[in-house]
Copies of this chain bind each other. A is one copy, B any other.
Amino acid sequence: MPVGTLGTVKAVPQDVLESLGAEIILGNTYHLYLRPGHEPIRRMGGLHKFISWPRGLLTDSGGFQVFSLAQLRKVTDDGVRFQSHLDGSRHFFTPEHSIDVQIALGADILMAFDECTEYPADRARAEDSLRLTLAWAERSLNHFRAHCHEVPWFEEFRVPLVPRTWGPGNEPQRQSLFGIVQGGMYRDLRRESAERLIEMDFDGYAIGGLSVGEPRDLTLEMISEVLPLLPADKPRYVMGVGYPDEIEQYARLGVDMMDCVLPTRAARHGLLFTSEGRINIKGKKYAEDQGPLDPECRCPVCSRYTRAYLRHLMHSGEALSGALNSIHNLAYYLGIMERVRGSLAAQQG
């Protein structure tokens, strides 16, 4: 899933995302809550309509950004008090409030409010954090079930949603809520987290609290521990990963969804992923390289422009640089998922 923090996948227009085959993008609840605000978005018919995106949308709970961006945080059992990183204004997020904001945004998939356990965290801290996340998960789910049908603005949608290929079918429920497995780097806590969430019966399950600085074999260990426990008939989502080889590895293990700012953020810094490995397009050696960025890629950038031109745009600080680089990296990531899907389908067929 390309990440569209503030209602835009940075520098990439919606029609291009469609043409690249992006089926779902992610919006950050924390950012959209602060700017332009969930109430204006609700009044305007929800995020799909506001940003003109007729396909899938997922919103995170806001928790991750509250913990990573906001200032003067104070966590209680009830929720998190924080100040905006933009203007210092004071806010209070509870599981109920996060769900209210996400219902107002109107995404297809909502995430339970959780605490992303930091790394490293000792066992006592990881246990406390998990206990909080599980309590918040239950409160998120209860509030969601009580309020998810109260979406009057939904009727005003002018853009049709994509058919749910993985959802629970033709139910009247128009939004789904996922629970988030936490537990730090402790396998038994991860198992406990998964089991408790499955008892609550969410529409899908995410594995959070990974890619937070831990070594990569630990990431894999946690995913391998949790994944087999999660129901195979519901979407399984690993949050915030990763590099192309990670994406491929986890997808082959059975992960259905991943999100990461890496393809777009790296692109803006000139780091491009290709079938021939990573390229830093700023390099002088590309100054007269008339080949395409990736000879095996059929994206609009590789089909039209040379490495020399992309290098020139980057070197000159041109706005087009971020756009073209991002388009290629997203195409590369979406291509990985398509390839894995094809290969898994072939195995099963």
Nearest CB of chain B from residue A234's CB, rounded to whole Å: 33
The distance from the CB of A76 to the nearest CB of chain B, in whole angstroms, is 30
A22 within 8 A of B: no
Judge whether A52 is part of the interface by a CB distance below 8 angstroms: yes
Q: Quick check: A35 and B312 within 8 Å, CB to CB?
A: yes
Contact of A36 among B50, B315, B324 (CB under 8 A): B315
Q: A89 at the A/B interface (Cβ < 8 Å)?
A: no
* Assembly CA distance A12 to B35 (angstroms): 26
Given the contacts A15-B300, A287-B36, A300-B15, A44 and B319 also touching, CB distance less than 8 Å: no
Given contacts A13-B324, A52-B304, A309-B50, contact A319 B318 (CB under 8 A): no
Q: Does A308 contact B (CB under 8 A)?
A: yes
Interface assignment of A296: CB less than 8 Å from any CB of chain B: no
For window 305-349 of A, CB contacts with B under 8 Å fall at 305-306, 308-309, 312-313, 315-316, 318-320, 322-324
| Interface pair B40/A10, CB less than 8 Å apart | no
Q: How far is the CA of A319 from the CA of B13 in the complex (A)?
A: 10
Complex contacts, A44 vs chain B, CB 8 Å: 288, 290, 306, 308
A7: interface (CB < 8 Å): yes
Report how far A312 CA is from B8 CA in the complex, Å: 10
Q: Is the CB of B323 within 8 A of A13?
A: yes
B316 and A35 form a contact (CB under 8 A): yes
A6 at the interface (CB under 8 A from B): yes
Q: Does A14 sit at the interface, judged by CB under 8 A?
A: yes
Question: What are 21 A-B residue pairs whose CB atoms fall within 8 Å in the complex?
Answer: A6-B316, A7-B309, A7-B312, A7-B313, A8-B318, A10-B320, A11-B319, A11-B320, A13-B323, A14-B304, A36-B287, A36-B312, A40-B288, A44-B308, A50-B308, A50-B312, A51-B309, A52-B305, A319-B319, A319-B323, A323-B323
Can you add 6 more A-B contacts, CB < 8 Å, to A44-B288, A50-B312? Answer: A7-B309, A7-B313, A13-B324, A35-B315, A36-B312, A45-B290
